Amino acid sequence: MDIFKTFIATLGNKTKSHKLPVNSIYDISINALNGTPINLSKFKGKYMLFVNVASKCGFTPQYQDLQKLHEHYGENLQVIGVPCNQFGKQEPGNTDEIKSFCEINYGVSFLITEKLNVKGKNQHPLYTWLTQKINNEKTDSTVKWNFQKYLLDPNGNLIDFYLPYTKPLSKKIIKHL
């Protein structure tokens, strides 16, 4: 199946909604790429931008603008890259390969998490929260492809989500920062 057909097939994929046993996004457990637990509550008071990333995707050059966001708005914004291999198997690497790719090719110094599922029956709770109105109290969404973005305000509330073709430095995102 070619990439375009895979993309079209994902358009109808919806995960059944269910309320997570958390009070906020800050209560969700997730690990960094190196396996160290990330305490999302340490980002209270900052915007957070979650982006499902992949190293072998047409949108991969967005790493460069994500790094620029991190460098320019880092005092007020936490960029969090979330490797995912669910779209065209475009993130096949292991932990060391992902880390090396990001650092060597794009100078990435923002936070990268462990590789996750962002959709389907094994969807990580982080993405259950981001994509389901019952949890985020804003809107339902479906992750369509690599480099979809979710922006949260400094209180951990979902502001909006942006499809992969929305560039990280887009006015749609920057206006909130």
Catalytically active residues are 57
C-alpha distance from residue 39 to each of 9, 49, 63 (Å): 34, 15, 23
DSSP per residue, 16-73: PP---S-SSGGG--EEBTTS-EE-GGGGTTSEEEEEEE-TTSTTTTHHHHHHHHHHHH
Pull the structure tokens for residue 67.
Answer: 């790094």
d(CA 130, CA 137): 10
DSSP-derived pairing of the beta strands 77-83 and 47-53: parallel
Where does residue 83 rank: exposed (0-12), middle (13-18), buried (19+ CB within 10 A)?
Answer: buried
Q: Facing residues of 82 across strands?
A: 52
